[in-house]
A and B are shown apart, each in its own frame.
Chain A
Amino acid sequence: MDSQSRQFESPLESHPIAAPLPCPRAMQPQTITVATPFSILGTLLMALLTVPRMLVMVPVLNRRRRA
């Protein structure tokens, strides 16, 4: 035994616990719908089609709200 390493020596029974007893509960991986080039293109296309229609509808909706 290397005498210099005795600075770390301690009786076995004095070893403190490394960590508390585990209390297991699994983490579930979250669902994520990853984008593909087609889905990005599709989203942009849908936005191009729907946003102008929504903008056109704004005055109508406002009039209805006022009424």
Chain B
Amino acid sequence: MTGIFEVDGFTWREIIILVLFAILFAWIASSFWIAVFGAVARFTRTNLLPLKPPSDSSAARTAILIPVYNEDVGRVFSGLRAIWESAGPDFDFYILSDSTNPANWVAEELEWQKLKLALGENARIYYRHRARNIGRKAGNIQDFCENWGQLYDYMVILDADSLMTGETLKTLVGLMDANPRAALIQAPAQLVGRHSLFSRIQQFASSVYGPIHGAGLAFLQGADGNYYGHNAIIRVHAFMQHCGLPKLPGKPPFGGEIMSHDFVEAAFLRRAGWEVWMTTDLGGSFEEPPPTLLDHLIRDRRWCQGNLQHLRIVFAQGLTLPSRLHLAMGIMSYVASPLWLMLLVVSAIDMILYVPPEAASYIGLEPSLAHSVSYAAQLVVLVLATLALLYVPKFLAVIAVLEDPARTRAHGGTGGLLKGLFWESLYSTLMAPIVMLQHSWYVLSILMGMATGWNAQTRSDRALPWDLVIRKFWPHTLVGLVATIILWWYAGGGFNWFVPLLAGMLLSIPLVVFSSSPLMGLWARKDGIFVVPSETRGLPVLDRAHALAGAHQELPRDARQLVLEDRAVRDLHLALLSGTPQPDQDARLGVLRAQAAQRETAGFSREDWTLLLSDSEGLRSLP
């Protein structure tokens, strides 16, 4: 590229293009090489977890932690019960609630009691609700460690939509027993269980491309692994000793509590000399993808802020080089978008302002024809190299699946697999510019100091309505429209280079609507596209969780009202409230008590309900 630009001398635009292109090319090359190493490891049957094999039985005590924050109560407890039934009574389960919605809080208590009664005394399933969400999810885990961590050798952290099989849990415990220097073993979660077209595409990508990428990472990082925040087993005493998170100086979004705590905790463990591993061949570790592109992007806003905050940490003293690389790759996965956008804008400007060299030049006073040298061959090589970096990992992953007939059948056969590869590549190509614009906005807004809150995720399938999608994605369409008009008029033949990007932006609204549809997902399933092993082979723990969630009975009334109106519910709530501090006595609490006694709660706000439900004295005195 340098050779092409230097023909008529560098312009400032060309220098910017060169720098941005070099950074982005290196970025996609890193993903490419991870996939290549993963493919080599797979094809040569390399042992990616060089640890002592797990012991058969374990005397260790392991807690399974499920932090929840205003989640769908039925889904959380269905998943928990499915895991418990798969794992047996050897594990202690903790539902660590940070729910701020009072209705969720009471519903969780009732579901917990129902589950305890259903499973009997054998089941050690505990429930804890925090009055204040200090430190968000990391603070929730820290609170568990500080209160009960000393009772356990290991803890397995799950997300609200995580599932793990009993066999996998027992193997992880055995591995920790046999390898006392291992502080954390991450079991990467495969995406399963959702039905919208978008989810199916994500599940297919996770099932086909995920193993190659995971194998590449495991091969390269060894004991310098990373932690993804859930579906991992952790040695409690190592975690308690080395993973207390500091507050970063300054205000959010770059200061304050560390949002993406997982990478930092892994870095701290490595700094202290503990091993952090990733197991790619174990299986039995699952989570559900976001149901729509909109939900995916909403989650990305929080992750983006968390990863950009790592800019403060990536150069911190004492971290190992691989830990810095993990942090840098997390940062780059979001910063790449604005860099790509800048590259496109500057390239377009350069294309528009480009003045071709004059057809004749002079040697002395004599005119002579300029030698026109074509750089088309170099340009084609450059474009082909870029395309290879983007798409060869997908082909390698498909070859790795095709090598195994059982896996191929589980993905819908060779035809289904190849059709899935084609449609997924098309969808991800169209989705890329939409995600680029959205991430660029996220990075810009964070740099301007706009911090995000902590909202519960939408995890259930939902077909997005047109009006909502139009409201959210009209800017993407407008950017696409304006760019199309400008490039069409001014970029000449260069316009064609931008067509795939412009198509993604122009089609963003229908693309988001149609991909959110469970019906489109069903059609794809019927055509044998985006089929994954959890559907074709069945997955007992997932099937059980879905069956329980399907049979789950919603509460007949507002759970908050039940505390006032149903003596048994109130007694349960008071029993679980014991030990938590009484809220400050103020005039507002007095008014709430009086209104609650009269059952005049229609005007209560969420904060009022939280205050009232935290007031054990007042609840006890209710008639």
A24-B146 in contact given A9-B566, A18-B128 (Cβ < 8 Å): yes
Instruction: Tell me if B312 and A35 are in contact (CB < 8 A).
Output: yes
Stretch at the interface among B189-197, B240-248, B371-379: B240-248
Instruction: Tell me if B315 and A2 are in contact (CB < 8 A).
Output: no
Q: Which residues from chain B contact A34 at a C-beta distance below 8 Å?
A: 248-249, 312-313, 316
Q: Which residues from chain B contact A1 at a C-beta distance below 8 Å?
A: 565-567
In whole Å, how far is A22's beta carbon from the nearest beta carbon of chain B?
Answer: 4
Q: Which residues from chain B contact A60 at a C-beta distance below 8 Å?
A: none
Q: Which residue of B lies closest to A34 (CB)?
A: B312
Instruction: Tell me if B569 and A5 are in contact (CB < 8 A).
Output: yes
Instruction: Tell me if B114 and A8 are in contact (CB < 8 A).
Output: yes
Q: Which residue of A lies closest to B63 (CB)?
A: A20
A-contact 0/1 string along B137-153, CB 8 Å cutoff: 00000100111111100
Q: Is A62 an interface residue (CB 8 A)?
A: no
Q: CB within 8 A of A31: which of B240, B246, B553?
A: B246
B-contact 0/1 string along A1-25, CB 8 Å cutoff: 1101111111110011111101111
Q: Which residue of B lies closest to A10 (CB)?
A: B568
Instruction: Tell me if B127 and A33 are in contact (CB < 8 A).
Output: no
Q: Which residues from chain B contact A6 at a C-beta distance below 8 Å?
A: 568
A33-B142 in contact given A2-B562, A19-B128, A27-B244 (Cβ < 8 Å): no
Q: Which residues from chain A contact B150 at a C-beta distance below 8 Å?
A: 23, 25
Q: Which residue of A lies closest to B561 (CB)?
A: A2
Instruction: Tell me if A16 and B128 are in contact (CB < 8 A).
Output: no
Instruction: Tell me if A18 and B142 are in contact (CB < 8 A).
Output: no
Q: Which residues from chain A contact B245 at a C-beta distance below 8 Å?
A: 29-30
Instruction: Tell me if A39 and B113 are in contact (CB < 8 A).
Output: no
Q: Is B25 an interface residue (CB 8 A)?
A: no
* Bound-complex Cα distance A35 to B317 (A): 8
* Bound-complex Cα distance A4 to B566 (A): 10
* Bound-complex Cα distance A16 to B117 (A): 9
Instruction: Tell me if B110 and A8 are in contact (CB < 8 A).
Output: yes
Instruction: Tell me if A27 and B145 are in contact (CB < 8 A).
Output: yes
Q: Is B571 an interface residue (CB 8 A)?
A: yes
Scoring A25, A31, A40 by chain B CB atoms within 10 A of each residue's CB, the highest score goes to A25
In whole Å, how far is B240's beta carbon from the nearest beta carbon of chain A?
Answer: 5
Q: Is A26 an interface residue (CB 8 A)?
A: yes
Q: Which residues from chain A contact B240 at a C-beta distance below 8 Å?
A: 25, 27
Q: CB within 8 A of B316: which of A11, A23, A32?
A: A32
Instruction: Tell me if B571 and A18 are in contact (CB < 8 A).
Output: no
Instruction: Tell me if B556 and A16 are in contact (CB < 8 A).
Output: no
* Bound-complex Cα distance A6 to B148 (A): 33
Q: Which residues from chain A contact B441 at a C-beta distance below 8 Å?
A: none
**Interface residues of chain B: helix, strand, loop or mixed (majority):** helix
Q: Which residues from chain A contact B557 at a C-beta distance below 8 Å?
A: 2, 4-5
Instruction: Tell me if B127 and A19 are in contact (CB < 8 A).
Output: yes
**Interface residues of chain A: helix, strand, loop or mixed (majority):** loop
* Bound-complex Cα distance A6 to B126 (A): 22
Q: Which residue of B lies closest to A22 (CB)?
A: B147
Instruction: Tell me if B566 and A32 are in contact (CB < 8 A).
Output: no
Interface magnitude class on chain A: 20 to 34
In whole Å, how far is A3's beta carbon from the nearest beta carbon of chain B?
Answer: 9
* Bound-complex Cα distance A11 to B572 (A): 9
A18-B312 in contact given A8-B110, A27-B142 (Cβ < 8 Å): no
A-contact 0/1 string along B304-323, CB 8 Å cutoff: 00000001111111100000
B-contact 0/1 string along A33-44, CB 8 Å cutoff: 111000110010
Q: Which residues from chain B contact A11 at a C-beta distance below 8 Å?
A: 568
Instruction: Tell me if A32 and B244 are in contact (CB < 8 A).
Output: no
* Bound-complex Cα distance A16 to B102 (A): 22
Q: Is B204 an interface residue (CB 8 A)?
A: no
* Bound-complex Cα distance A18 to B128 (A): 7
In whole Å, how far is B391's beta carbon from the nearest beta carbon of chain A?
Answer: 35
Q: CB within 8 A of A15: which of B113, B142, B146?
A: B113
A18-B127 in contact given A2-B562, A5-B557, A10-B113 (Cβ < 8 Å): yes
* Bound-complex Cα distance A35 to B311 (A): 8
In whole Å, how far is A29's beta carbon from the nearest beta carbon of chain B?
Answer: 4
Q: CB within 8 A of A29: which of B116, B246, B575?
A: B246
Chain A to chain B contacts (Cβ below 8 Å), 7 pairs: A2-B562, A8-B110, A10-B568, A18-B127, A29-B244, A35-B312, A35-B316
Q: List A residues at the B interface (Cβ < 8 Å).
A: 1-2, 4-12, 15-20, 22-35, 39-40, 43
Beyond the given pairs A12-B575, A24-B146, A30-B246, 20 more chain A to chain B contacts, judged by CB atoms under 8 angstroms and listed by A's residue number, are A2-B565, A4-B556, A8-B110, A8-B569, A9-B569, A10-B113, A12-B568, A12-B571, A15-B575, A18-B127, A18-B575, A24-B147, A25-B146, A27-B240, A29-B244, A30-B245, A30-B268, A31-B246, A32-B317, A34-B312
Closest 9 CB pairs of A and B: A35-B315, A27-B244, A4-B556, A9-B568, A22-B147, A29-B246, A19-B126, A33-B317, A29-B244
